[in-house]
Amino acid sequence: MSTATIRVPDRLLLGSGPSPVPQRILDALALPTIGHLDPAFSALMDDVAAGLRKAFRTENRVALPVSGTGSAGMESMVANLVRPGDRVICGVHGLFGERMADELRRHGAAVVRVEAEWGRAIPTEALLEAASAPFAAMFVVHAETSTGVAQPLDGLADACRTHDALLLVDCVTSLTGHPLDLDASGVDAAFSGTQKCLNAPPGLAPMTLGERALPRVRDGEVPSWYFDLSLVLGYWLKEADAPRAYHHTAPINLVYALAEALAIVHEEGLEARWARHARAHDALKDALAVLGLERLAPEGEQLSSLLAVRLPDGVEDAQVRVPLLTEDGIEISGGLGPLAGRIWRIGVMGEGARVEPQERLVRALAARLGGDETGAVDALHAGWSA
């Protein structure tokens, strides 16, 4: 029985994140706080680094949770690896590409935007064409959370290596929910978030840097004390028997939650988890199609972990989404930017990528839209049985 005096409502989180946090992770979160220099915490940090490497599919020495939400990972990556005047190719096909272009501009980069319509992947050829002139880094959003589109990474690393440039990737919404193999794709640095397919609370940004990226870390000259990796790594990157050097106080309990989340991921196995997310995505897509909700992303460009669907004509976003939250207790997300009021974004993340929560959503949406509830639920189950 909770002794807390604050109260929060019951919600089924099927929006763009945060995702449903299992009790096991909430229990880990609530373990007693210990010190950030305690040897017991140091051992846990090693476990988290190992679990992150495995989740990212990388042998990189540097794998750590940045002490902030997903965007703090973006900021840390840019502040440390991009110098004023650097020519940086930035794929923009949704809000998070736009956000990165803004971040790059703030850090003085000469940003070369390579765009695609929101809801489509960027053609690889367009990125390679921009890479024909010298550049310092290429950034792409692997998992565009604003549209539910997955960006292929094939062929980008070779183009980057030709110009001794870094390949930088946002995988906030794909990590452990959509196939991703950083080393096979030649990614030099990537960041993610804990509140998507990892099912941990928000507040940490898992990040990894490879050996090509490390020499670029702007030792002492990063325009940020908090995110300066030359300092942060003295704490996080355990070298032989050197003690960990205090930088800032790590968010101890969030690290507990991340450790537990990674344990759950690796108990299931990464490939089994990817396959489950793909199946959950397809099943829900089929069910929602029965209700007249068609997926935004074309087949082959979809992101398993986020299903964005177009609103049917005559359906007003808030008139469904608000009571779905406040009366049915189910959160889904609206569209952003040019897609505001035109799409819903439904998370298919970790424990949200299960038939039970999906059936609850399908039934509630069918009732609110006046659609074929039985047909939709049958399609959902058929998808899961396929």
Of 250-279, binders to a second copy (CB under 8 A) are 250-254, 256, 259-260, 263
- Of positions 86, 103, 144, 301, contacts a second copy by CB under 8 A: 103
* Shortest Cβ 107–a second copy spacing (Å): 7
54 is a contact residue toward a second copy (CB under 8 A)? no
Span near a second copy by CB under 8 A; candidates 16-24, 294-302, 351-359, 361-369: 16-24
Interaction mask 72-101, a second copy, x per CB under 8 A: x-xx---x-------------------x--
* Shortest Cβ 91–a second copy spacing (Å): 17
Whole-angstrom Cα distance, residue 385 to residue 279? 9
- Residue count, binding to a second copy (CB under 8 A): 78
Vertex 125, ends 124 and 126: CA angle to 5°?
90
* Shortest Cβ 266–a second copy spacing (Å): 11
Whole-angstrom Cα distance, residue 380 to residue 231? 49
Q: Which CB, 147 or 185, lies closer to a second copy?
A: 147
* Shortest Cβ 206–a second copy spacing (Å): 14
- Of positions 65, 70, 119, 186, contacts a second copy by CB under 8 A: 70
* Shortest Cβ 208–a second copy spacing (Å): 19
Closest by CA to 374, choosing from 281, 291, 292, 314, is 291
Span near a second copy by CB under 8 A; candidates 249-257, 284-292, 299-307, 377-385: 249-257
* Shortest Cβ 31–a second copy spacing (Å): 5
Vertex 170, ends 169 and 175: CA angle to 5°?
105
For 288, residues 6+ apart whose C-beta sits below 8 A from its C-beta are: 294, 295, 307, 309, 346, 362, 365, 376
Q: Which CB, 124 or 224, lies closer to a second copy?
A: 224
* Shortest Cβ 326–a second copy spacing (Å): 7
Query: Looking only at residues 153 through 212 of this chain, which bind a second copy when binding is defined by CB under 8 A?
Result: 193, 195, 201-203
Contact call for residues 102 and 88 (beta carbons, < 8 A): no
Handedness of CA 178, 179, 185, 188 (dihedral sign): positive
Query: Looking only at residues 324 through 343 of this chain, which bind a second copy when binding is defined by CB under 8 A?
Result: 325-326, 331, 336
Contact call for residues 137 and 165 (beta carbons, < 8 A): yes
- Cβ-based burial of 310 (10 A; exposed 0-12, middle 13-18, buried ≥19): middle
- Of positions 58, 60, 67, 80, contacts a second copy by CB under 8 A: 67
Task: State how far Cα 201 lies from the chain centre.
Answer: 13
Query: Looking only at residues 17 through 36 of this chain, which bind a second copy when binding is defined by CB under 8 A?
Result: 17-18, 20-21, 23-36
Q: Alpha helices of the chain — where are they, by DSSP H?
A: 23-29, 39-56, 70-81, 95-106, 124-130, 156-162, 182-185, 229-236, 252-268, 270-290, 317-326, 355-369, 373-385
